[in-house]
Amino acid sequence: MVLKLNKLDRKQYKERSSIIHQTLYQTDNWKAATMIGITISRFPEVDTYEIIRKAWSEGKKVTAPRCIHKTREMHFHLIKSFNDVSPSYFDLLEPEPSLERVEPGRIDLLFVPGLAFDSKGFRLGYGGGYFDRFLSYYNGNTISLCFTEQVLDAVPVEAHDLPVKRIIGEGLTLKP
């Protein structure tokens, strides 16, 4: 999947991400959310920079995860600008640990990344298990954003895996 996604050219990547953004902004989940939890994307993940900017422009609060590698946990911190993040583990952009930590129950809408998804909402993640652990006690709305080629007939599912509540791709909205 990584090889397939890496073949996207930048123009196509931006155009396809924009289509996904427009679908997202029409959802009740987006409209109702006052605080979102979202990762800061890296190519070839669906662009989240524009989503974050849109959230700020609409007065939504934005939180981003910081991974705690010793315990494989994630803590979400409030970010008010892209100056609040810096490269961390695997060069992921994460919030500074000194920023306000946000309890999971305050996050209305959580964006869950993944490499591949199935129509039941299960996903193949990046292998760290951070989101799987977080989802085990997060009770809010979850959305995954993906390009159409990331939706497969089936992905490997383990006993601890939890599905997301909605998957949005170009021209695609799945509510498992």
Task: Produce one character per residue of 110-126: b if its CB has 16 or more CB atoms within 10 Å, e if not.
Answer: bbbbbbbbbeebbbbbe
Residue 100, number of CB atoms within 10 A of its CB: 12
Binding-site residues, in ranges, read 40, 45
The tokens describing 150, both together, are 């990331």
Spatial separation of the C-alpha atoms in residues 62 and 14, rounded to whole Å: 22
Q: For residues 168 and 143, is the Cβ–Cβ distance under 8 A?
A: yes
The tokens describing 135, both together, are 């989802």
The tokens describing 161, both together, are 């895996």
Binding-site residues for substrate, in ranges, read 40, 45
